[in-house]
Amino acid sequence: MPRPSRWNEIIEAAAEAFRTNGFAATSLEDIASAVGMWKGSLYHYINSKEDLLFAVVRGPAEEILNQLRELSDTDLPPTEKIRRATRSHVQILNSNFVYASVYLQEIAGRRKLPEWTAMDREYLNLLESIVREGVDSGEFSAVTNPRVATLALIGSLNWLTHWYRPGGTLHADEIADQFCDLFLGGLITRKTQASRSQTVTPLKTTKPRAKRTA
């Protein structure tokens, strides 16, 4: 059988090593021996060690941002947007766990290359806009500071890399639902209000290019 692309093997080995030991503590020999070749041979695929980091991280980073972009262009009510954004975030973290973990631990901290900080800022701003929609429409009147509320949500989601493991006892869907209920409804329950989880209706209501109010 034609064995799968060597490049993918390298990226996966690099991602796994970066996640477990961190970028700086991972040597090229670790990665090379994991795929069964000499460390010098890696330079047929890369120009530097950092190339591996960016290659590992680019895919999921763009995907998670694009999904939020699409969601922001719909005219769903803010409550539903928050719910879907949460589900989307959790699911991408689930299906690209190793890569996403490397991003959050190595890129979103320390390294502040303008390309990546721009992505982080856009993601934050898009989510904050949704929260502001809810504040303006009166739905989210508990929010005194939309940015802080948004960062609280992002923190809960990104912290998943510290405890969630794909294939564990906790399924990604239940975690997402619990997060939604918690953020929309809070710990304390009110009796009425339609804020509990429902099965997701995959409607795709894309507005024809709505201008985003930053």
Interacting residue ranges for DNA, rule: CB under 7 A: 2, 6, 26-29, 36-45, 47-50
DSSP 100-131: HHHIIIIITTT---HHHHHHHHHHHHHHHHHH
Given the rule CB under 8 A, which of 51-59, 63-71, 157-165, 202-210 is the region that contacts its own copies? 157-165
With vertex at residue 141, the alpha carbon angle to CA 139 and CA 145, rounded to the nearest 5 degrees, is: 125
Which of 73, 122, 139, 173 is the binder for its own copies (CB under 8 A)? 139
Q: Which does 178 bind (CB under 5 to 8 A by kind): its own copies, DNA, none?
A: its own copies
Q: Which of 8/95 has CB closer to DNA?
A: 8
Q: Which amino acid is at 102?
A: V
* In the complex, minimum distance from the CB of residue 23 to its own copies, in angstroms, rounded to a whole number: 8
The set of residues, in sequence order, having a beta carbon less than 8 Å from that of 50 and lying 6+ positions away, is: none
SS3 call for 194: coil
| CA–CA gap between residue 27 and residue 9 (Å, rounded) | 16
Confirm if 186 and 180 have CB atoms less than 8 A apart: no
Which of 8, 22, 38, 48 is the binder for its own copies (CB under 8 A)? 22
- Determine, following the binding rule CB under 8 A, whether residue 48 of this chain makes contact with its own copies: no
Least Cα distance to 129 among 210, 203, 23, 9 occurs for 210
Q: Enumerate residues 165-194 that contact its own copies by CB under 8 A.
A: 170, 174-175, 177-179, 181-190, 193
Interface ranges with its own copies (CB under 8 A): 20-22, 24-25, 79, 82, 105, 108-110, 131, 134, 139-145, 148-149, 151-160, 162-163, 170, 174-175, 177-179, 181-190, 193, 195
